[in-house]
Structure 1
Amino acid sequence: MCCSGFLKVMMFIFNGGIFLAGAGCLGMGIWLKVDSGSLLGLLEGIENGDGLDQLVHVAYVLIGVGAALVIIGFLGCCGAVKESRCMLLTFFCIVLVIFIVEVAGAIVLFAFDGLADKILDNVENEVRSKLQTEFGRDESLTSVWGSTMEQFKCCGYRNYTDFTGSPFNVVSGEYPSPCCGRSSDSFCSLNEVETSDIPGCFEKLKEFLEENALIVAGVALGIAALEIAAMVVSMILYKKAGKRD
């Protein structure tokens, strides 16, 4: 009886950890989705099939995984309370499938360094072309790039030359204010952007993706450890419940 009570407590602890981790993933996914200044917003509208769509929709992946973990954590606690063999076995099978998927995803994210370079290099021409033809004309694109450059202290995809010949540059003869480190209520002259040392958003975006990929991979491995412990405890409770039936 004492051992059974201890196992229930451990099941609550492990599933509580899974529940909190799921809530964290869910919150991060929602934040990425609603944050219009996110660097991932720069990739929206780029029609390239080399894995870019998975990066743009990473928020949806986090929301889906987070919601699933929240539900699983809740169901695991219910199964421990009732000691239902059916619920415990179902819990074990679902967590096992998710565990395998998470480990595979974590391995991919830890190896993301080379993948980031390949994907971002593949879309470079299309992104720069859009800047030179649409920046200053397309209100949505201009707003996203303007807020992102100001927030992350970067200029263009590679540098200020991405805006040369754009509608914005042709009309005003100047460049966006972040290209010379100025506030949003002013612009930069050609001489100022040539002498300013403002990095392109390519490097900032690559750093953002790599840093967050490692964080997500680390969290996934932590969740995996909790899931292993929860699966072990659920099987022990499953066997104990079977002996009483």
Structure 2
Amino acid sequence: MGEGPLMRWCCRSDILMVHMVLAGLLVLAVGLWLRFDPETVELLTGDGAPDTFFIAVYILLGAGALMMIVGFFGCFGAVRESQCLLASFFACLVIIFGAEIAAGVFGFINKEQIVEEVQKFYSSSIADVTNPNGTAIALIYHKTLNCCGGSTSDASTTLCADAPEETEDCLTAITDFFNEKLHIIGYIGIGVAGVMILGMIFSMVLCCAIRNNREVI
């Protein structure tokens, strides 16, 4: 392979690596938004609040940070036409891809568990009308999700006595709210996987092109 085709592959790979860095930055930004979203933070703050949702968010943050770092290495390897760096880049992508598959399986398996944990947290908070802390947490859910009730406790009936009839129950609102967030994580994961697969393909093709070019020389 001559210098012309090799340079074209280098340029294409550089563009892909830059896109990978930008994709990592986007994933990192979305992860930070999910972690510090005021509504989510309010709903998952308090003694005994479940943290499974945040585990999925932390995995997303880790994937974004690793994508940025690995993308920089890939850019450097493509510019220097280094087989060693490109092979390392490929190996890192394989590891990250495997970790992402594991995280995806974890999220899929625990999707319903995340929602159920939050629902139980809400139900336990509203169960005892004499507990001001629990009542305060329940009121946060009512305000944040624009919902009321969903629990069979007397406290639920008391707190929702003045709520309009068309008000959605909180158990359904919790399901809708966290399913939307988890779908965002899932869609981003699919996009990241696609970018990584392209990165692995381009890095291997470029690595082979560099080797063949050196053999010709």
TM-score range, shorter chain: 0.7 to 0.9
Match of 1:6 in 2: 8
**CA gap 1:119/1:28 in 2 versus in 1, 3 angstroms:** closer
Q: Which residue of 1 aligns with 2:100?
A: 102
8 Å CA contact 1:155, 1:200 repeated in 2: yes
Partner of 2:194: 225
**TM-score when normalising by structure 1:** 0.70
Question: How much is the aligned-residue C-alpha RMSD, in angstroms?
Answer: 3.2
SS of match in other structure, 1:91: helix
Tell me the alpha carbon deviations over residues 102-140 of structure 1, each in whole angstroms, 9 at most, x when there is no partner.
23434555x46xx5444544664553222344887339x
Counterpart secondary structure, 1:93: helix
Match of 2:67 in 1: 69
Partner of 1:201: 170
Say whether the 8 Å CA contact 1:15–1:73 is kept in structure 2.
yes
Which residue among 154, 179, 182 is the counterpart of 1:210?
A: 179
| Residues 86, 207 of structure 2: 8 Å contact kept | yes
In structure 2, distance between residues paired with 1:3 and 1:163: 75
* CA spacing shift, 1:237–1:20, aligned 2, 3 Å: same
Partner of 1:128: 123
TM-score, normalised to structure 2, is: 0.78
The percentage of counterpart residues that share the same residue type is 26
Task: Structure 1: give runs of 5+ residues left out of the alignment.
Answer: 180-189
Displacement of 1:94 in angstroms is: 0.3
Question: How far apart, in 2, do the equivalents of 1:15 and 1:237 lie?
Answer: 12
Kindly indicate whether residue 51 of structure 2 is the aligned counterpart of residue 53 of structure 1.
yes
Q: How does 1:8-27 map to 2 (within 5 A)?
A: 8-27=10-29
C-alpha deviations, 1:78-104, integer Å up to 9, x for none?
111011122111100000111222234
Partner AA of 1:196 in structure 2 = E
Task: Work out whether residues 46 and 126 of structure 1, in 8 Å CA contact, stay in contact via their aligned partners in 2.
Answer: no
Amino acid at match of 1:154: C
Return closer, same or farther for 1:92/1:135 CA change in 2, 3 Å cut-off: farther
Instruction: Read off the aligned partner of 2:78 and give its amino acid letter.
Output: A
Matched residue of 1:81: which SS? helix
The residue type paired with residue 148 of structure 2 is C
Cα distance change on mapping 1:124 and 1:146 into 2, 3 Å: closer
Equivalent residues of 1:7, 1:237 under 8 A apart: yes
Distance 1:29 1:118, change over 3 A: closer
1:183 maps to none
Q: Which residue of 1 aligns with 2:132?
A: 137
Matched letter for residue 177 of structure 2: F
Q: Is 1:240–2:214 an aligned residue pair?
A: no
Q: Which has the higher helix share?
A: 2
Number of matched pairs = 212
Q: Corresponding residue for 1:42? A: 43
Q: Which amino acid aligns with 1:164?
A: A
Deviation at 1:26, TM superposition (A): 0.9
Q: Following the alignment from structure 1 to structure 2, what is the Cα–Cα distance between the partners of residues 226 and 125? A: 38
Question: What is the CA distance between 1:73 and its match in structure 2?
Answer: 1.6
Q: Structure 2 CA distance, aligned partners of 1:163 and 1:26? A: 43
